[in-house]
A and B are shown apart, each in its own frame.
Chain A
Amino acid sequence: MTSNSLVYLIALPLIGSAVLLLAGRRADRWGHVLATLASGSSFVVGLYQFSQMLARSGEERAVTQKLFSWISVGSFKVDAALMLDQLSICFVLLITGVGTLIHIYSIAYMSHDLDRRRFFAYLNLFIAAMLLLVLGDSYLNLYVGWEGVGLASYLLIGFWNQKPTYATAAKKAFIANRVGDLGLSLAIMISFATLGTVSFSGVKEQAEHASTGALTAIGIMLLVAATGKSAQFPLQAWLGDAMAGPTPVSALIHAATMVTAGVYLIVRSNFIFDAAPTAQLMVAIVGAITLLFGAIIGMAKDDIKKALAASTMSQIGYMILGAGLGPAGYAFAIMHLLTHGFFKAGMFLGAGSVMHGMDDEVNMRRFGGLRKFMPITFATFGIGYLAIIGVPPFAGFYSKDKIIEVAFNAGGVKGWIFGCTALLGAAITAFYMTRLVIMTFAGNKRWDAKAHPHESPALMWIPMVLLAVGSVASGFIFSQGNSLRNWLAPVVEHEHEVEVELLSPAVVSILALLLVALGVGIAVMKYLRTEVLREAPENVSIFTKIARRDLMQDAFNEAVFMRPGQKVTAALVDIDKFVIDGAVRGVARLTQGSGSALRTTQTGYVRSYAMWILLGAIGLVATIWIVTL
């Protein structure tokens, strides 16, 4: 099937972005409206495509559109082509839907910012790039979008770059992402070298009779790419600092959409990972490590946005774990991704709303008792909270429990380790999210005298309410009759292998709920029963100190990569200065010196030239005479 309207999905926000950036200050008055309309109309196109897709039967649902022939070198041909299938449409609707809501929210949130138009231009640029990422029909097309979202993310994290720390945060994110991007480009190169093609369909076909070694190499490189973009261990350090961007950016890019690109990449490449069990196992291990890593950091953070960022890291860890568990987990990874998109975006917008009412304060030790002052924010945030800790019937319950269940069913020691990690993660999630909610909305008032907490305007709370509705309903809808799983089946293709039932779903659910209750209970005891201090206590255990410092991730990166890197750079600079430049300068000095020495013979006097000619002639004659003698 082909369709001519796919390109509009990307073109609308791209044009919006271009108009806003090129029109400059003239567009200040209407720029945000245009951007929101562009994103909204892209969403409408997405809905139209979705309805068209529903009208067709399972195998014929994917549509493609060839834009132009991009590269044609010998046997290597890449078209700039778009492909919309069951997997892409989930992302398209999430990106444009949540994206549009966040555009609406930003109109109010950024209303006092002089550069609001530029902000919206970048948001539109991001939407376009992200859509290209999920719509590209080959790894190379995906790569363009992949880099595009990296750029948009960089621009938006550093949006308030008048603050040097924010500009640094943007650079940090960009560099960490570049490391991951290197993995993706290597994966593409290996794929071209061994399989001779880079399109999804081509690779899928070739993967059946390719060597396991090549597929493992591609898979590991794709995993590196995913760890960079999705802030997974060991490239996770940038996500916390990325909270320097305006809060809607954190909600859209660093919670709901861009950071899930890694999950998309792995699920999209399911045919590679299914054929390369080592790479697949590594995916699951990375996911499991990150879900604990993020959760532990989340427990110690007092900055509301950084706590949410740590939670994002942890939740994406769940998705990666799910994606690393093979055909049984792909659909649930995507399900968790979608539900997470709703509740985490909602919670970030809630955090933004709190900051909006509290003069941009982010320290939760300066909040407290905001429930009465921001009832709508509290309600929507509370729904998101119930969803993320996995209380039925909220969305997170359906998706997260399924991942835990699949983890247990991976079988053997692997199953126990992954399952218990995921369960433990769920308990910690419950703890830190409860802590966050209590410190922000309940307990005693700890804010400064000049703060006047108030509810945010309707433009801000309406998107929050809509996302809260999604947080309630999405999990139920997706799991009702395995709807999402069946929907995705043609793409992720799970031929039913024998499922090892280590623990039955009911047992997993009960265990998870018990652990969640335990986590909530501890948090209530610790933060509601006892008074929260305005200053973070210093006499804490070494573990808390380490967790506050993000489990030493920055210290590690500095010690292992930055300082040796600086030394290598300094050494290379010295080599450049003394060896290479030395050689070049030496040649120059030699020429110059011999030149100035020879110059003295050029006196400009005819008589001296005549003298030289005479001497030369005598010398010549003498030479001939001696030679012939």
Chain B
Amino acid sequence: MNPANYLYVSVLLFVIGAIGVVVRRNAIVVFMCIELMLNASNLAFVTFARINGNLDGQVIAFFTMVVAACEVVIGLAIIVTIYRTRRSASVDDANLLKR
């Protein structure tokens, strides 16, 4: 199978994720979209590793997963805290910086 197809999937996933981040209001969904973009880039890394025949891309994919895991922990904690204080998980409600 042509490795380029994986790249197309990767681009598709990244675009879906990016659009989701920009369009959706629910913080959880936005967050999941970010995860989607990370995974899209992971897929691209792994694909390129396969295409180029070395392991660098796969190693970086591991790094990305570790970072993503940390990020999930902190991000979810922030979202939960915001929800607790404001009874809302909409990113548009969190605009205190503007004032």
Contacts and interface: CB of A to CB of B under 8 A. Distances in A.
Nearest to A603: B98
Interface string A582-607: 00000000000000000000111111
B98 A604 contact: yes
Nearest to B96: A604
Contacts of B94: 606
Interface residues of A, number: 9
B50 interface: no
Contact of A610 (B22, B96, B99): B22
B56 interface: no
B95 A605 contact: yes
A607 B98 contact: no
Nearest to B95: A604
A23 interface: no
A604 B21 contact: no
B92 A607 contact: yes
Interface in B64-99: 91-92, 94-99
Interface string A603-619: 11111001100100000
Nearest to A610: B21
Nearest to A604: B98
A604 B18 contact: no
Contacts, number: 30
Given A614-B18, A614-B22, A607 B91 contact: yes
A603 B95 CA distance: 8
Contacts of B91: 605-607
A604 B22 contact: no
22 contacts: A602-B98, A603-B98, A604-B95, A604-B96, A604-B97, A605-B91, A605-B95, A606-B91, A606-B92, A606-B94, A606-B95, A607-B21, A607-B22, A607-B23, A607-B30, A607-B91, A607-B92, A610-B21, A611-B22, A614-B18, A614-B21, A614-B22
A606 B34 CA distance: 13
A607 B25 contact: yes
B37 to A, nearest CB: 10
Interface in B17-54: 18, 21-25, 30
A604 B25 contact: no
Contacts of B99: 604
A614 B99 CA distance: 24
A417 B99 CA distance: 87
Interface of A: 602-607, 610-611, 614
A614 B19 CA distance: 10
B interface, over-half SS: helix
Contacts of A604: 95-99
A606 B94 CA distance: 8
A36 B69 CA distance: 96
Contacts of B92: 605-607
A603 B97 CA distance: 9
A602 B25 CA distance: 18
A602 to B, nearest CB: 7
A176 to B, nearest CB: 62
A70 B87 CA distance: 76
Contacts of A607: 21-25, 30, 91-92
Nearest to A618: B18
Contacts of B97: 604
Nearest to B37: A614
Contacts of B24: 607
A571 to B, nearest CB: 48
Contacts of A611: 22
B95 to A, nearest CB: 3
Contacts of A614: 18, 21-22
B68 to A, nearest CB: 17
Given A605-B95, A607-B91, 5 more contacts: A602-B98, A604-B97, A604-B98, A606-B92, A611-B22
A607 B25 CA distance: 8
Nearest to A615: B22
Nearest to B34: A610
Contacts of B95: 603-606
Contacts of B96: 604
Nearest to B92: A605
Contacts of B98: 602-604
Contacts of B18: 614
B30 to A, nearest CB: 8
A622 to B, nearest CB: 15
B13 to A, nearest CB: 15
Contacts of A603: 95, 98
A611 B91 CA distance: 13
A602 B23 CA distance: 18
Nearest to B97: A604
A605 B27 CA distance: 12
A144 to B, nearest CB: 61
B15 to A, nearest CB: 10
Contacts of B22: 607, 610-611, 614
A614 B98 CA distance: 20
Contacts of A605: 91-92, 95
B35 to A, nearest CB: 14
Nearest to B21: A610
A466 to B, nearest CB: 84
A607 B96 CA distance: 14
A275 B97 CA distance: 80
Q: Chain A CB within 10 Å — which of B22, B23, B91, B99 has the most?
A: B22
